[in-house]
Amino acid sequence: MALNPAITDWRGRRAWIVGASSGIGAALARALIERGARVAVSARSADGLAALGAALALPLDVRDAAALQRAASHLHEAFGGLDLAVYCAGTYRPLRAADFDLDCVLEHDEVNYRGALRWLAAVLPLLQRQRGAHLSLVASVAGWRGLPQALAYGPTKAALINLAETLYVDLRDLGVAVSVVNPGFVDTPLTARNRFAMPALLRPEQAAEAILQGWRRGRFDIHFPRRFTLWLRLLRCLPYRASFAVTRRFTGL
């Protein structure tokens, strides 16, 4: 069942993707440009943004609220409005409790979650002026349940999922659609840090197509690949005793 208006034609639509210098964000920017959208991209890596060519590059660090505000103002001047805003910025380092690293955990919080809050402060006024706009947060299936090695990463993605749910309720009557993207494993510079087999691993281009398909279908919760994520959905529904046992059995941790 569609919870959002379907987006089937990208020609002339104005999009801002934060976290677009590599991985899913860069692939999504390229896919939107190919479909005729006007795309602005942000990340810390100016070189990574420059590689996207036709996109409007707005380099910034999501830990800098003032930089996000300046970028939003620049974008409004350049595009005259905004139809799609995507938060794809993130950091990831595998971490378990036996090796707890406070600086690592707080860095995840600053980038993955608080960065999204700073971005919202900059982008929400633009979206609310543009009825029919769409806001999307890229979280992760790691936010569905506590998983091994996700001590720093998983809680921030769980927070983004809850944030998206709340935003959907608050913004629906204001004419702003909201979606949350929960990918499984995607081959990016971040997942390259994993030292374990990643089932159903996708290329960033496949992830971008899955996101576009989710928006075409008006989905709120866009998760993929479904041959993997549907099993995690089941795990999420199990009682804790069962889900902990299944997680331990299949991860060996």
Active site residues: 153
Pairing, β 14-18 against β 38-42:
parallel
Residue among 168, 174, 175 at smallest CA distance from 221: 168
Report H helices in 35-64: 46-50
Quote the distance between the C-alpha of residue 237 and its chain's center.
Answer: 23
Question: The tokens of 38 are what?
Answer: 């006007």
CB 12 within 8 A of CB 38: yes
DSSP 112: I
Pairing, β 84-87 against β 56-57:
unpaired
